[in-house]
Amino acid sequence: MKEIYCGVDIGGTKINVGLVTKDGEVLIDEKFETKSELGEEYSINNIKNSIDKLLKEKDFEVQDLKGIGIGSPGPLDSKKGIIIDACNLKPWKNVKIVDELKQKYKDIPIKLQNDANVATLGEYLYGCGKECDNFVYITVSTGVGGGAVVDHKLQIGSNSNAFEVGHTIINLNGRTCNCGNNGCLEAYASGTAIAKIANERAKDEETLMSKDGDIIAKDVFDYAKKNDKLALDIVKNEGFYLGVGLFNVIALYNPDIIAIGGGVSNALDMFYDEIQKTLDKMSLDASKKACKIIKAKRKDCGLIGAAALSFYL
Amino acid sequence: MKEIYCGVDIGGTKINVGLVTKDGEVLIDEKFETKSELGEEYSINNIKNSIDKLLKEKDFEVQDLKGIGIGSPGPLDSKKGIIIDACNLKPWKNVKIVDELKQKYKDIPIKLQNDANVATLGEYLYGCGKECDNFVYITVSTGVGGGAVVDHKLQIGSNSNAFEVGHTIINLNGRTCNCGNNGCLEAYASGTAIAKIANERAKDEETLMSKDGDIIAKDVFDYAKKNDKLALDIVKNEGFYLGVGLFNVIALYNPDIIAIGGGVSNALDMFYDEIQKTLDKMSLDASKKACKIIKAKRKDCGLIGAAALSFYL
C-alpha cells in the first residue's frame, strides 16, 4: 500500500501544493498564485484541483493519501481549522478551510497550523533539526518569525500563536515596528528593517547606494560585498541585533540548534561572525555552549512541514 | 500501601525537606540552615538525617517513600544528578547529590532539577497552573527566574537551563545586570534592582526614604503606601518593566496563565494595573487575550514541586 501525504503551503502571493513521503521527499509539487482578493472559494477550488492533478500525474489514488496538512499565515484557530483574518490573505475572514477540504477528502486527516510553525516542523523533521531534543527555527525575511520544538514536540501555544519572536522587545525605547510597539527584534533585524535603516542612513552618510529611498535589503548585501562602508556597517549591525534576539531565545529555550532560514539567511555568512561575537560577549555560558547556530537546510520546509502535520500533530 | 514523596528544596541559606502526598499535601516538613561553606558532606548528611527523622515522626517506613526530588540552584546536570557550581552554594563543586542519596535510599527514584523549574512544577500541578495547557511561573525576588510548562510538560532545555527569563534583554543599551550584560529584565524588575534604582534616585530626588544608600525593596513598597512620590514612581516602573518582560514571554510562549511568585509578588496589587496598562498598549492581541496574569498560590511550590519531580519527570 502506498502512503503519501499532501502539503499545502499558503502564502500571501503563492500557494504551494505537493505530495510528500513520510521521509520528507517531495514527489511532485506545483505553485500557483493565491489571489486571495478573488475570495476563498477561488483559492480552495484551486487547491482541490491541484491535489487531484498531482495525484493523477503520479498515478496515485485518493486512497493513497494518508493526510493533508495546511500551513497558513495566522491568526488562525488550528483546533477548529479556521483561518481567522490573516492580513496577507485579505479579504478572507473565518475561512473554514479544513471543513471545506473535508467535504471532498472525507476520511483523510486534515490539519491546519500557522506557517511559521509548519516550517519549523519541516526543518526539524527533515532538515537540520533531526535528532535534536530542543530546536528553534527562525526565518528572517520581510519579517522575523519562527517556531520551537520543545523536548521533541512542536510548541503551539494556547491558541496557536507561540513563538512570535519577531515581536519580542530587545530595545524598549527603540525603533517603532510595523506592529506599533517599540524595539521589536523585527524592527531591527528583518529584511524590511535592513532596507529602512539603509534608506535613512544613506541620506546623511557616504555611500554608493541610492539616496532616493529605494534601497532594498538585497542592495545592502550587494554593496557590502563591494566594500561600501555604510552597507558593511548595516550588515554588521544585522549580526548584532539578530545576536541579541538569539541570545534571548537561547536564554529561554536552551536549544541544541537554532536554524536560520528565510531570504536574509542567504547572506548569513556575511554576518554570522558578528552574531557569534555578540553572543561571546554575553552571559549564560552553559546555554550558549549547548547551542549551535546554523543555516536552515530545507528551502521547502513550509511544504514538507505541512505534509508532516497530518501525522505528526 | 502508603505512597509518599520527599521534596528537598536547597537554597543558599536554608534547606527545606518535607514529606508530600501525590496530591501535593505537605504532611510534615522542616527547614535547617544550608551552611554550604561547611562542605557538601555536612549538608547531605543533614538532608539524610532530616528525611529519616520526618519518616519516623509520621510513622512511615523507608519502603513507603516512592521517590525523592531535589531542587537546587544551578548550573546543574540533571541527567547525572550533579550540582555543578551554584554560586549560592560555595564552595560546592560537582556535587553528586543524587548518587550520595542513592547510597542510602537504594531502590527509590531520585531526581535533581534546578530550583526555578521545580517551583514551576509545584505551582503548575498544585497551584494556579492546574488544568492549564501552557503555563509560566515567574518568581520576582532577589533575581527574576521561573519556568514554563509547554503543552503539559515542564520545559527543561538541552542542559537544564531553560527559561532564564531574568537574563532576557529588554533594553539593549540599558542598565548593567549582575551577569554583566546590559538591559536584562532582572536589572530592572528584580527586588535587587528596585533597591538599587531607589538608592540611586533617592540621592537627587525628593523622598522620605533614606538617602544613605541603604534602601531595600521592601522600603520602597512601604513608602509607596505612604504616598512617597519617588517610591510610587519606582513601584509604577516595576509594573512597566515587568510588563515588558511578560510581553516577551506571552509573545513566545502564548500561555494560558502566567503566575507571579517570589517576595516582590507580595506587593503585586500595587503594580498589577501598571503591568496590564503596559500590555494593553502593545500588540499581539490574540495572545494577550488568551493569557491571565495572576499571583502564584503556593508559597511552598519549591518543596511540593521537588517532591513531584520523582514521579512527574
pLDDT tens column, A143-184: 999 999 999 999 999 988 999 999 999 999 999 998 999 999
- Chain mean pLDDT for chain A: 96
B122-132 tens-digit pLDDT: 999 999 999 89
pLDDT at residue B85, as a whole number? 83
Whether residue B135 is found in the same domain as residue B283:
yes
State the pLDDT confidence band at A280, using cuts at 50, 70 and 90: very high
Whether residue B89 is found in the same domain as residue B147:
no
Q: What is the mean pLDDT of residues A291-299?
A: 97
Mutation target among A132, A170, A172, A312 for the B interface, most CBs of B within 10 A: A172
Residue A178, chain B, CB below 8 Å: the answer is no
Q: Please count the other Cβ atoms lying within 10 Å of the Cβ belonging to residue B226.
A: 10
Is residue B227 one of the residues assigned to a domain?
yes
Number of CB pairs, chain A paired with chain B, less than 8 A apart: 150
Q: Which of A248, A155, A165, A288 is nearest to B164 (CA)?
A: A248
State the pLDDT confidence band at A313, using cuts at 50, 70 and 90: confident
Which domain CATH number covers A117? 3.30.420.40
Query: For residue A5, what are the β-bridge partners?
Result: A20, A67
Mutation target among B153, B248, B256, B258 for the A interface, most CBs of A within 10 A: B248
Whether residue B147 is found in the same domain as residue B102:
no
CB contact under 8 A, B168 and A290: no
CA distance A254 to B83: 18
Helices (H) and strands (E) in chain B, counts: 10, 12
**What contacts A299, CB < 8 A, 6 or more positions away?**
A261
* Nearest-10 crossing angle of helices B191-204, B217-225: 60
A222-239 tens-digit pLDDT: 999 999 999 999 999 999
**Residue B136 grid coordinates:** 509560566
Range of the domain at A218: 131-295
pLDDT at residue A303, as a whole number? 98
pLDDT at residue A167, as a whole number? 96
pLDDT at residue B88, as a whole number? 84
Residue A157, chain B, CB below 8 Å: the answer is yes
Whether residue A92 is found in the same domain as residue A151:
no
pLDDT above 90 (res A264): yes
Residue tagged 493565491 (cell numbers)? A34
CA distance B296 to B259: 5
pLDDT at residue B38, as a whole number? 96
Residue in chain B nearest A133 by alpha carbon: B158
Whether residue B136 is found in the same domain as residue B246:
yes
CA distance A156 to A145: 14
Residue B178, chain A, CB below 8 Å: the answer is no
Whether residue A45 is found in the same domain as residue A167:
no
pLDDT above 90 (res A249): yes
CA distance A223 to A234: 11
Whether residue A139 is found in the same domain as residue A184:
yes
CA distance B168 to B171: 9
Q: What is the mean pLDDT of residues A67-85?
A: 92
Whether residue A74 is found in the same domain as residue A157:
no
User: What is the 3-state composition of chain B as percent helix, strand, coil, each rounded to the nearest 5?
Assistant: 45, 20, 35
Give the neighbor-by-neighbor strand order of the sheet with A257-261: A153-154, A144-150, A135-140, A257-261, A292-295
Looking at chain A, the whole-number percentage of residues with pLDDT higher than 70 is 100
pLDDT at residue B1, as a whole number? 63
Is residue B48 one of the residues assigned to a domain?
yes
Is residue A126 one of the residues assigned to a domain?
no
CB contact under 8 A, A157 and B134: yes
Whether residue A90 is found in the same domain as residue A160:
no
Minimal C-alpha gap between B290 and chain A (Å): 7
Q: Count how many domains chain A has.
A: 2
Is residue B137 one of the residues assigned to a domain?
yes
Whether residue B162 is found in the same domain as residue B256:
yes
Is residue B30 one of the residues assigned to a domain?
yes
Give the neighbor-by-neighbor strand order of the sheet with A110-114: A26-33, A14-20, A4-10, A65-72, A110-114
pLDDT at residue B74, as a whole number? 82
pLDDT at residue B75, as a whole number? 83
pLDDT tens string, chain B, 313 residues long: the values are 678 999 999 999 999 999 999 999 999 999 999 999 999 999 999 999 999 999 999 999 999 999 999 999 988 889 999 999 888 898 999 999 999 999 999 999 999 999 999 999 999 999 999 989 999 999 999 999 999 999 999 999 998 899 999 999 999 999 999 889 999 999 999 999 999 999 999 999 999 999 999 999 999 999 999 999 999 999 999 999 999 999 999 999 999 999 999 999 999 999 999 999 999 999 999 899 999 999 999 999 999 999 999 888 7
Contact B105, B62 (CB under 8 A): yes
Contact A116, A86 (CB under 8 A): no
Contact A228, A265 (CB under 8 A): no
pLDDT at residue A131, as a whole number? 84
CA distance A145 to A127: 17
CA distance A171 to B171: 4
Phi-psi region of B262 (alpha: psi -120 to 50; beta: other; left: phi over 0): left
Query: What count of Cα atoms within 13 Å lies in the side-chain half-sphere of residue B277?
Result: 11
Whether residue A108 is found in the same domain as residue A185:
no
**What contacts B136, CB < 8 A, 6 or more positions away?**
B120, B146, B147, B148, B149, B163, B249, B253, B255, B257, B258, B259
pLDDT above 80 (res A1): no
Residue B131, chain A, CB below 8 Å: the answer is no
CA distance B223 to A259: 49
Residue A134, chain B, CB below 8 Å: the answer is yes
pLDDT at residue B86, as a whole number? 81
CB contact under 8 A, A161 and B282: no
